[in-house]
């Protein structure tokens, strides 16, 4: 799990050696659905699950749909298998912990609940790009990130560094496989107690995030409209066009967030319905 571009797919590609796993090259999110990939580690069959991050700016998959898929996976897909852990990815080069990163951390927290938090490996990627001069700043980022994961670290979670080498990926996987298997995941327990997705802690968290995002977008649109009014009195068409484009993009995002929130409220996914969604999750076995 983790924000777009943090290296989730790259990590899986490194471990599985599967050349067809797509990794992002630009700023747009690359992975748009959940995929699971298996490989052997020390003679043990391991399945890694790649998920997109929660992000209102991602095309193809809405946050509420993503929550549904993750919940389905955690409730149904891993039956008969041992769930050892979650890996949360963050780029060490991201000095500022963005709003989207904070959203993803809160979603992780409400999905896992306290008892599964010890099974979360908080991984910072791109250590291969950190030189001596940048080391202090990188360590500061790590400390800052750890602050946002306080609930997790208080419950036993630890931070790890990944430098994009196979050796570091294998070391991390060994650590995760050494975790005592997860016995309780908050969202799974809640769904078992017949709550609807909207009533779970993660559903409530997502609803409140979407409400906040919509309010933020409205405020930004208002700000841009004021600037557009002032720009229309200038004779600079390109500045006006730029502001206009920003405003229209934000209007689109606002509409998407509002629709997503409505969808979440209507979402009464009962566990038996999850089976219908299962076909959307792919598993690729080793050749």
The binding site for Mg ion (CB under 5 A) comprises: 9, 30-31
Least Å distance, CB 87 to Mg ion, is: 13
Q: Which long-range contacts (CB under 8 A, 24 or more apart) does 245-248 make?
A: 247/221
* Main-chain phi, psi angles of 277, to 5 degrees: -85, -10
Site string (18-57) toward ligand GTP, x via CB under 6 A: -----xxx---xxx--------------------xx----
* Main-chain phi, psi angles of 36, to 5 degrees: -120, 145
d(CA 155, CA 138): 24
**Applying CB under 6 A, which part among 100-108, 125-133, 207-215, 257-265 lies near ligand GTP?**
125-133
User: Under DSSP, is residue 41 helix (H, G, I), strand (E, B) or coil?
Assistant: strand
**114-117-118-123 Cα dihedral, nearest 10 degrees:** -160
Determine, following the binding rule CB under 6 A, whether residue 126 of this chain makes contact with ligand GTP: yes
Least Å distance, CB 269 to ligand GTP, is: 23
Site string (50-79) toward ligand GTP, x via CB under 6 A: --xx--------------------------
Residues 281 and 210 sit within 8 Å (Cβ to Cβ): no
| Size of the residue set binding ligand GTP (CB under 6 A) | 23
**Applying CB under 6 A, which part among 17-25, 34-42, 96-104, 188-196 lies near ligand GTP?**
17-25
User: Using alpha carbons only, what angle is made at residue 122 by residues 75 and 113, rounded to the nearest 5 degrees?
Assistant: 40
**Which of 162, 253, 254, 256 touches ligand GTP (CB under 6 A)?**
162
Residue (86 or 274) nearer to Mg ion, CB: 86
Using CA atoms, how far residue 54 sits from 113, 177, 286, in Å, is 18, 26, 29
Positions in the binding site for ligand GTP (CB under 6 A) = 2, 4-10, 23-25, 29-31, 52-53, 89, 125-126, 128-129, 162, 164
């Amino acid at each position: 799990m983790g924000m777009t571009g943090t290296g989730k797919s790259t990590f899986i590609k490194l471990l599985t050696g599967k050349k067809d796993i797509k990794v992002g090259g630009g700023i747009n999110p690359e992975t748009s659905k959940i995929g699971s990939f298996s490989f052997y580690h020390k003679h043990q069959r391991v399945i890694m699950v790649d998920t997109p991050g929660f992000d209102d700016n991602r095309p193809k998959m809405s946050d509420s749909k993503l929550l549904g898929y993750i919940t389905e996976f955690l409730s149904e897909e891993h039956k008969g298998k041992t769930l050892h852990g979650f890996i949360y990815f963050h780029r060490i080069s991201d000095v500022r912990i963005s709003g989207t990163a904070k959203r993803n951390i809160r979603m992780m927290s409400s999905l896992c609940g306290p008892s599964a938090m010890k099974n979360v490996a908080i991984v910072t990627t791109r250590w291969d790009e950190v030189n001596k001069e940048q080391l202090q700043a990188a360590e500061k980022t790590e400390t800052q990130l750890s602050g946002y994961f306080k609930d997790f670290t208080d419950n036993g979670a630890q931070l790890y560094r990944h430098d994009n080498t196979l050796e570091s990926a294998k070391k991390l996987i060994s650590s995760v496989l050494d975790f005592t298997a997860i016995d309780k995941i908050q969202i799974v327990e809640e769904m078992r107690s017949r709550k609807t997705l909207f009533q779970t802690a993660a559903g409530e968290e997502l609803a409140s995030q979407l409400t906040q995002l919509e309010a933020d977008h409205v405020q930004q649109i208002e700000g841009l409209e004021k600037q557009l009014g002032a720009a229309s009195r200038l004779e600079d068409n390109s500045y006006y066009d730029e502001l206009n484009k920003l405003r229209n993009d934000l209007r689109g995002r606002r509409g998407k967030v509002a629709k997503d929130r409505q969808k979440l409220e209507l979402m009464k996914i009962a566990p038996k319905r999850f089976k219908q969604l299962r076909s959307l999750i792919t598993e690729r076995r080793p050749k």
